[in-house]
């Protein structure tokens, strides 16, 4: 009996230690770090797996269209982003590379092939492949180590922004002190009434990797808005991806 008690006690202790090791510390206190150190820690927290295979629930609303879709998101890091949206049937497929975007809809029987102007029309700001990839990963849209940054602590979070803001846009990054991924990031052009806000309400620890569990995206420009809420339902890393993408013949080309 004593042996069983010791084994039970040891099992509880080891399980408890393992659980604590795999938990994200939600009670971390933002220390008085320099902007350079906060930027360094954020870059160090960058996603380091080769591939992502995930299922998302996506709610999309632009004032004219309000719908929910199940989306399969696959990322071959730095090479390709693949999206397949379904609602009983396949609604769309999109393949995004560092140089191009290809999209087609079996539902609408149309397609698009071109550059990132499609993303700019959707979000109101220019975004390249790396920035779009970072958006899904909880990383800053800009490299925070390329330019000198300022930092302040507000509500126990680091607010990082370039010492010299870009001519057209003001950029802000809100960094979580527990894992140094983003809580929020914003790109604002006050003069043109353009704004892109991306929030990350929560993260999960998956295979020892801190990864977003939810993303809220709000894009605003004069006379229109786009709200996209993303919930990761399942995520796997480093799988061999099979991306099938061929635009069927006879579809109507979309002009952006």
63 DSSP 8-state letter: S
Angle at Cα 79 formed by Cα 120 and Cα 146, nearest 5°? 65
251 DSSP 8-state letter: P
Least confident of 51-55, 91-95, 190-194, 224-228: 190-194
- Name the token pair of 111: 């397609």
- For residues 33 and 158, the answer to whether their CB atoms sit within 8 Å is yes
- For residues 158 and 177, the answer to whether their CB atoms sit within 8 Å is yes
DSSP-derived 3-state class of residue 35: helix
When pLDDT is averaged across residues 125-145 and rounded to a whole number, the result is 91
> Is the pLDDT score of 46 beyond 90?
yes
What's the pLDDT tens digit per position in 187-222?
A: 998 888 889 999 999 999 999 999 999 999 999 989
Domain 28-240 has CATH 3.40.50.300: no
What's the pLDDT tens digit per position in 63-108?
A: 998 999 999 999 999 999 999 999 999 999 999 999 999 999 999 9
Predicted TM-score of the model (pTM) = 0.86
How many whole angstroms separate alpha carbon 33 and alpha carbon 42? 12
- Name the token pair of 62: 């632009």
How many whole angstroms separate alpha carbon 107 and alpha carbon 238? 31
Handedness of CA 200, 185, 49, 120 (dihedral sign): positive
> Is the pLDDT score of 134 beyond 90?
yes
- For residues 129 and 97, the answer to whether their CB atoms sit within 8 Å is yes
What is the bridge-based pairing of β-strands 101-105 and 203-206? unpaired
> Is the pLDDT score of 7 beyond 80?
no
109 DSSP 8-state letter: T
- In terms of C-beta distances under 8 Å and separation of at least 24 residues, what long-range contacts does 72-76 make, across chains too? 73/136, 74/241, 74/243, 75/51, 75/133, 75/136, 76/50, 76/51, 76/241, 76/243
DSSP-derived 3-state class of residue 53: strand
Question: What confidence tier does 1 reach under pLDDT thresholds 50, 70, 90?
Answer: very low
| Domain residue ranges in the chain | 28-240
Among candidates 21, 58, 52, 109, which has minimal Cα distance to 228? Answer: 58
Cβ within 8 Å of residue 123, ≥6 positions away: 196, 217, 219, 226
When pLDDT is averaged across residues 108-122 and rounded to a whole number, the result is 86
Among candidates 38, 41, 70, which has minimal Cα distance to 54? Answer: 70
Among candidates 146, 147, 141, which has minimal Cα distance to 219? Answer: 141
């Amino acid at each position: 009996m004593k042996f069983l008690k010791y084994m039970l006690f040891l099992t509880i202790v080891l399980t408890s230690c393992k659980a604590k090791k795999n938990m994200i510390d939600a009670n971390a206190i933002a220390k008085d770090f320099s902007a350079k150190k906060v930027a360094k820690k954020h870059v160090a927290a960058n996603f380091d797996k080769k591939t992502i295979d995930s299922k998302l629930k996506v709610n999309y609303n632009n004032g004219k269209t309000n719908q929910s879709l199940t989306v399969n998101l696959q990322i071959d890091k730095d090479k390709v982003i693949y999206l397949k949206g379904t609602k009983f049937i396949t609604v769309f497929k999109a393949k995004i590379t560092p140089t191009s975007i290809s999209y087609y809809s079996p539902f609408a029987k149309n397609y698009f092939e071109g550059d990132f102007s499609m993303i700019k029309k959707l979000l109101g700001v220019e975004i390249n492949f790396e920035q779009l990839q970072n958006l899904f990963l909880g990383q800053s849209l800009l490299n925070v180590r390329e330019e000198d940054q300022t930092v302040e602590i507000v509500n126990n979070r680091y607010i990082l922004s370039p010492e010299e803001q870009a001519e057209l846009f003001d950029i802000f990054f809100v960094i979580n002190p527990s894992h140094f991924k983003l809580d929020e990031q914003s790109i604002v052009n006050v003069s043109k009434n353009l704004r892109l806000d991306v929030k990350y309400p929560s993260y999960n620890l998956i295979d020892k990797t801190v990864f977003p569990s939810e993303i809220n995206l709000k894009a605003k420009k004069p006379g229109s808005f786009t709200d996209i809420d993303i919930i990761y339902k399942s995520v796997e890393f480093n799988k061999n991806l099979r991306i099938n993408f061929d635009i069927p013949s006879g579809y109507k080309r979309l002009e952006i």
